[in-house]
Amino acid sequence: MRPSVVNASDVDIIRRMILTYNTGECMKVSAGDTTLVFGPVSKTSKNFKSTNFGADIAFISLNHPDMNGAEEAGRGDKQPFIISGPGEYELKGITAAGFATKSVYGGEERINTVYAVSFDGLSVLYLGALSDMNLPNDLLEMDAPDILIMPVGGEGVLSPADAQKLAVKLEAKIVIPMHYDEKTLKTFLKESGSEGVTAEEKLTVKPKDVVGKENEVVILRI
């Protein structure tokens, strides 16, 4: 994959991006007054606590209560714009492309949408509940992502070993694991040579912060 390029003259005017992990496949990404949520948890989920914050845009990767709770990301009259499924999107200065992939989350084969999002000078690749390492060529031909958010816990999504292999293939600068427990996270850290990494409450990053990085693992605490 081709490396992404950041113009030095643009770096200082870009706001900071803040990423926090909620649970399951739910990730909150904010910059300035814009908030995105990936994989919000529905109140009907039997596995995770429902999402409890407002967002401007909700990205739904899989039609399952564990990650299709866009209604939980609204507050009063402010309801998120919902992006659900493959296609190209542009909203509030954000460009996104969705790619159809496979998942066996929940014990049956489903369509999982992988999202490549450009937001405030950084590119984010969110893999959702991906279980198949085979990604569409159109996605593989895109620039390497600055931030890769990927499941590592098995049970219908990528295993720790497959997640690490795919992270290397995608040449991500920063890798954020999700959908993990203590055992699968430990295995993923061992596979990636990142055993000394400790969990953080959030990741705050600007474009200049990713320059020169290669597959640096950042663990976000639930």
| CATH code of the domain in which 176 resides | 3.60.15.10
Residue 24 domain boundaries: 8-217
Q: Tell me, yes or no, whether 2 lies in a domain.
A: no
Q: Which two tokens stand for residue 66?
A: 């564990």
Place of tokens 């816990």: 153
Q: Tell me, yes or no, whether 154 lies in a domain.
A: yes
Q: Tell me, yes or no, whether 38 lies in a domain.
A: yes
Residue among 146, 106, 144 nearest 128 (CA): 106
- Return the half-sphere exposure (C-beta side, CA atoms, 13 A cut-off) of residue 156: 18
Q: Which pLDDT value is given to residue 20? A: 97
Q: Tell me, yes or no, whether 80 lies in a domain.
A: yes
Q: Tell me, yes or no, whether 101 lies in a domain.
A: yes
Q: Which two tokens stand for residue 171?
A: 């040449």
CB contact set of 183 (below 8 Å; sequence gap of 6+): none
CB contact set of 199 (below 8 Å; sequence gap of 6+): 219, 220, 221
Number of structural domains the chain divides into: 1
Q: Tell me, yes or no, whether 112 lies in a domain.
A: yes
**Between 160-170 and 182-191, two packed helices, what is the crossing angle to 10 degrees?**
40
Q: Which pLDDT value is given to residue 77? A: 78
Q: Which pLDDT value is given to residue 12? A: 44
Q: Which pLDDT value is given to residue 3? A: 42
Q: Which pLDDT value is given to residue 208? A: 94
Q: Which pLDDT value is given to residue 8? A: 40
Task: Name the DSSP class of 47.
Answer: S
Mean pLDDT by 10 residues, the chain (222 residues): 43 73 96 94 95 95 96 88 96 94 94 96 97 94 96 95 96 97 96 94 96 96 88
Handedness of CA 132, 46, 86, 26 (dihedral sign): negative
Q: Which pLDDT value is given to residue 9? A: 41
Which ranges in the chain belong to alpha helices (H)?
8-11, 137-140, 160-170, 182-191, 207-210
Q: Tell me, yes or no, whether 177 lies in a domain.
A: yes
Q: Which pLDDT value is given to residue 76? A: 80
Q: Tell me, yes or no, whether 187 lies in a domain.
A: yes
